[in-house]
Amino acid sequence: MRLYWRPGKVSNASLVFLAGLAVSFMVVVETNRVMKKQPYYDEKVQAVRLQAAAMEAVKKEVLRYRKTLDPFTDPAGSGLIGRNLSPITSVVGYLAAKQTSVNPNFAAVIVHLMRRLGLKEGDLVAVSGTGSFPAMNLAVLVSCKVLGLRCVPISSVASSMFGANHPRVTWLDMERVAYREGLIDARSIAASIGGTDDNGAQLSELGVEMALTAIKRNKVPLIREGTLAANIAARMRLYEDAARGEPYKAYVNIGGGEASVGSHFTKVLFRPGINKTLPRKKIPDEGAMTLMMRKYEIPAIHVSSVARLAEKYGLPKAPQTMPPLAEGPLFFDVVYSLPLTAVLLAVLVAGCVVVVHFDVGRLFRAIPRGRSAPSRE
């Protein structure tokens, strides 16, 4: 019977001693953690601060035409979240996604993705944005400035719900303000109406006219060839002409503009974030992103599904206040001291061996107690 079980030889006092030792060592290890800077820390912080400044400049422009901000739709007070409907609103938009996007720390996400692709100063990058996520457009342009990339942006004016859909403060107006203040280094070389077929097919006549007025007001060349295919072809020519014979190193798409990503069925074939190769599945409707990836054999950064990107990089979803700048796992990683942990583990193992072998607790109990003093009575 002793082959299978025998009474324990270690006393409760010894077990309590070991437990106390282990807990004290754990406290020592936890209190001696250090904050280690993440890769590209300095560039991330610079981009975040520049993004915050750009958003503040845009907010001032917004408040020229909107005297107050809606605390329900824009609780963080960013100024970059529009109304649900306007004449240049193209499709349904999700308020939570827009609230998530107005976090300046997203600029650090873009820097991280660009550095992961090995982009360096002087590299040529094609950029496509819409009015739907103006804060993300700014984050891309700000990151290009910080990293010294030469970006070539092409934009569309129409916006999904809660985007840059104020007719007087479209994305092109926001871009102009940020450029004027020296917060970004590039402006759109051309712009289209956007929306269905990239020609505002679902907008009213008033909405189309307002989009055209915004393009004219900002002195940006118009892309309006009549069909989606023709608009895409025009974008490709513009990108090629702007490169002047130099190869592009990456393509960055923000949002779901049809001229850039194609139809909805094409958009979902690309992962949010980095796409180094084209999808294996057949692409039903090719936009500029697919064509550029194939032509130049370059990767793409697909800035879409903002909530998924936020979750992946430790950013809050739909924050109700503006998050603090340059804090969180994008910037710091909490690491333990390996030498200290190794030494304390060795001491704990040695303590276990000594206590179990000699049963220290039982030895303490075996020491005879001193006799009490005799009574004087």
pLDDT confidence tier of residue 7, bands split at 50, 70 and 90: very low
Residues 211, 170 contacting (CB under 8 angstroms): yes
Residue 29: per-residue pLDDT: 66
pLDDT at 365 over 60: no
Tell me the mean pLDDT in the region 186-195. Answer: 97
pLDDT at 376 over 80: no
pLDDT confidence tier of residue 220, bands split at 50, 70 and 90: very high
Tell me which range, 249-253, 284-288, 334-338, is most confidently predicted by mean pLDDT.
Answer: 249-253
pLDDT at 3 over 80: no
Cβ neighbours for 105, distance < 8 A, ≥ 6 positions apart: 48, 315, 323, 325, 326, 327, 328, 330
* Measured CA distances, 333 to 33, 41, 133, 280, 342 (Å): 10, 11, 29, 35, 20
List, for residues 278-317, the tens digit of each pLDDT value.
988 888 789 999 999 999 999 999 999 999 999 999 999 9
**Which one is predicted more confidently, 110 or 367?**
110
- Rounded CA-CA distance 273/113 in Å is 7
Residue 41: per-residue pLDDT: 97
Residue 28: per-residue pLDDT: 77
List, for residues 253-271, the tens digit of each pLDDT value.
999 999 999 877 787 899 9
- Rounded CA-CA distance 368/346 in Å is 33
**Which one is predicted more confidently, 265 or 133?**
133
pLDDT at 362 over 60: no
**End-to-end distance of the chain based on CA atoms, in angstroms?**
57
**Which one is predicted more confidently, 212 or 347?**
212
Tell me which range, 12-21, 273-282, 297-306, 355-364, is most confidently predicted by mean pLDDT.
Answer: 297-306
Tell me the mean pLDDT in the region 41-58. Answer: 98
Least confident of 37-46, 127-136, 311-320, 340-349: 340-349
pLDDT at 59 over 60: yes
Tell me the mean pLDDT in the region 88-95. Answer: 95
**Which one is predicted more confidently, 22 or 312?**
312
Query: Where exactly are the structural domains of the chain?
Result: 41-312
Tell me the mean pLDDT in the region 74-81. Answer: 97
Tokens of 317: 């979803």
Residue 301: per-residue pLDDT: 98
Tell me the mean pLDDT in the region 326-335. Answer: 88
Residue 265: per-residue pLDDT: 78
Residue 368: per-residue pLDDT: 59
Tell me the mean pLDDT in the region 110-118. Answer: 98
pLDDT at 134 over 50: yes
Query: If you ran DSSP here, which 8-state letter would residue 103 be given?
Result: -
User: Which runs of consecutive H residues, i.e. helices, occur in 102-225?
Assistant: 106-116, 134-147, 171-180, 205-217
pLDDT at 377 over 50: no
pLDDT confidence tier of residue 6, bands split at 50, 70 and 90: very low
Predicted TM-score of the model (pTM): 0.83
Sequence letter at residue 173: D
Residue 351: per-residue pLDDT: 74
pLDDT confidence tier of residue 198, bands split at 50, 70 and 90: very high
pLDDT confidence tier of residue 5, bands split at 50, 70 and 90: very low
* Percent of the chain whose predicted confidence (pLDDT) is above 90: 74
- Rounded CA-CA distance 49/62 in Å is 20
Tokens of 341: 């942990």
User: Which runs of consecutive H residues, i.e. helices, occur in 194-337?
Assistant: 205-217, 228-243, 258-261, 264-267, 288-296, 306-312
Return phi, psi of residue 98, to 5°.
Answer: -65, -40
